């Protein structure tokens, strides 16, 4: 368990930064991005600020992503 906790702490900011960069590249607010992927605004905010990470179940939400790109 210590191994997981140690490495998840390292990866958490990187995941948040990646989410923020994707959202900004799509020119979406946190609110609009949250709606597009089926989560709440506070969830996006927490991910981007390193307070939480996406659930391992998050990839199952791919139905929220259109095949070409997210809607602006």
> Confidence band (pLDDT; 50, 70, 90) for 71?
low
CA 33/CA 30 separation, integer angstroms: 5
pTM, entire model? 0.64
Question: pLDDT at position 56, please?
Answer: 72
Question: pLDDT at position 37, please?
Answer: 86
Annotation: CATH topology of 10-64? 434 Repressor (Amino-terminal Domain) (1.10.260)
Does position 60 have pLDDT exceeding 80, yes or no?
no
DSSP 28-59: --HHHHHHHHT--HHHHHHHHTTS----TTGG
pLDDT in tens, 13-57: 688 999 999 999 999 999 999 988 888 999 999 999 989 988 876
Domain-by-domain residue ranges, the chain? 10-64
């Amino acid at each position: 368990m210590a191994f997981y906790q140690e490495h998840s702490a390292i990866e958490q900011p990187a995941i948040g930064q990646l989410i923020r960069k994707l959202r900004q590249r799509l020119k979406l607010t946190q609110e609009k991005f949250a709606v597009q992927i089926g989560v709440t605004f506070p969830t996006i905010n927490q991910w981007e600020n390193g307070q939480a990470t996406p659930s391992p179940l998050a990839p199952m939400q791919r139905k929220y992503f259109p095949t070409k790109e997210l809607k602006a």
